Amino acid sequence: MKTAKPAQSPLEIRDLVKSFRTGFLQSKKVTAVGGLSFSLEEGEIFGLLGPNGAGKTTTLKMITGLIFPDKGEVKIFGHPSAEVKARARIGFLPENPWFYDYLTAREFLRMAGGIFSLRGPALEKRINGLFDQLGIAHAADLPMRKYSKGMLQRAGLAQALINDPDLVIMDEPLSGLDPIGRRELREIILGLKARGKTVLFSSHILSDVEEICDRVAILARGRLREIGSVESLLDMGTNGAELEVGGDPERIGAIADTLALEWVRSMTGGRVIISADADTATVLRAFLDAELPILELKRHRRSLESIFVAQSEKAKKEA
């Protein structure tokens, strides 16, 4: 009986280590990435987070073969990243992409397509489709030195998608974009996911990451600090809840005092802070029994930002 071949992970990173030598005599060794391991699942959007110097860009450069790890391995769809064919199914958008000033976006995309041995009407159709999708069709035949930052970012994305890659890797794609540009890029990333593509990107813009990523990894000082789905990371820090109750603030306060909970007056009545060790059901029942309307129950969750900051601080202290 034939068994189905297990799907190959788009990206597997194991024990990745990279250090650089710095200083006048290159005598000082700085570890940029120290023992990083994670893998991507097909069709997910994965965010790589971390403060400046965390090792995000170094990791992405090792994945794409621009720099070589001291130790460890990177496999893209099962192929070691050093192999040329490993890069056949990826698209890469570097941070602040630089282009050849003398080329138009169309000429650049033709060259990019040529590297993938794409040519003729199929390539032209693909190029025009990308220009339309990314909203730069009007500037396709202008030299790229005349492009704004947002247009350069779109041209960069167009070249990353020229081969219809299965894994799209982007380094800080949202930085420097205005809110509309960010929203459009978020939609493009979600569109890629909808088409079954896997997306890996690094970012500082946590609200966007929280909104579109399935999973995130937080790096600090070259080490993996947290990894998991956005939901699980945020839930890990669940710390009680807030209850908005309508009605007489004096009655709300009396019940809260009985339950030894903090409370504050609000426009509609009172806001009761349910501590982590309190039983939420008991608190709710107490107010319902007193026939006070429950207006809102909100869980206290960590924000991605608080996790990010906490991990960065922790890494700093450890160092």
Q: Does 30 bind another protein (CB under 8 A)?
A: no
Token readout for 104 is 């138009």
Question: 10, 11, 61, 131: which one contacts another protein (CB under 8 A)?
Answer: 61
**Quick one: which of 33, 48, 49, 90 contacts another protein (CB under 8 A)?**
90
* 173 part of the interface to another protein, by CB under 8 A: no
Question: Tokens 């949202």 identify what position?
Answer: 174
Cα angle 270, 271, 274 (rounded to 5 degrees) comes to 135
d(CA 200, CA 92) in angstroms, rounded, equals 10
Using rule CB under 8 A, residue 98 touches another protein? yes
- Rounded to whole angstroms, the Cα distance separating 319 from 13 reads 24
Helices (H), 25-64: 56-63
Residue 10 near another protein by CB under 8 A: no
Segment lying near another protein (by CB under 8 A), choices 23-31, 66-74, 193-201, 299-307: 66-74
Question: 7, 30, 66, 264: which one contacts another protein (CB under 8 A)?
Answer: 66
Indicate the residue among 90 and 243 with the shorter CB distance to another protein.
90
Residues 6+ apart with CB under 8 A from 145: 101, 102
Instruction: State in angstroms the smallest separation of the CB of 235 from another protein.
Output: 36
Cα–Cα distance measured from residue 186 to residue 179, given in angstroms and rounded to the nearest whole number: 10
- Kindly report the backbone phi and psi dihedral angles of residue 218, in degrees, each rounded to the nearest multiple of 5, phi listed first: -110, 125
Shortest distance, CB of residue 132 to another protein, whole angstroms?
21
Residue 156 CB, nearest approach to another protein (Å): 8
Provide the pairing of β-strand 45-49 with 198-203: parallel
* Contact status: 99 vs another protein (CB under 8 A): yes
Question: For another protein, which is the closer residue by CB, 163 or 198?
Answer: 163
User: With CB under 8 A as the contact rule, which of the stretches 2-10, 85-93, 182-190, 239-247 interacts with another protein?
Assistant: 85-93
**Binding pattern for the stretch 103-122 against another protein, x by CB under 8 A and - elsewhere:** x---x---xxxxxxx-----
β-bridge mates for residue 219, sequence order: 224
* Residue among 222, 225, 230, 184 nearest 45 (CA): 230
55 touching another protein, by CB under 8 A: no
Residues 292, 278: Cα–Cα separation, whole Å: 19
For the chain, the straight-line distance linking the first and the last C-alpha, in angstroms and rounded, comes to: 55
255 binds another protein (CB under 8 A): no
Candidate segments 102-110, 211-219, 253-261, 296-304, binder of another protein by CB under 8 A? 102-110
**Positions in the binding site for another protein (CB under 8 A):** 20, 61, 64-68, 84-85, 87-88, 90, 92, 94, 97-100, 102-103, 107, 111-117, 156, 159, 163
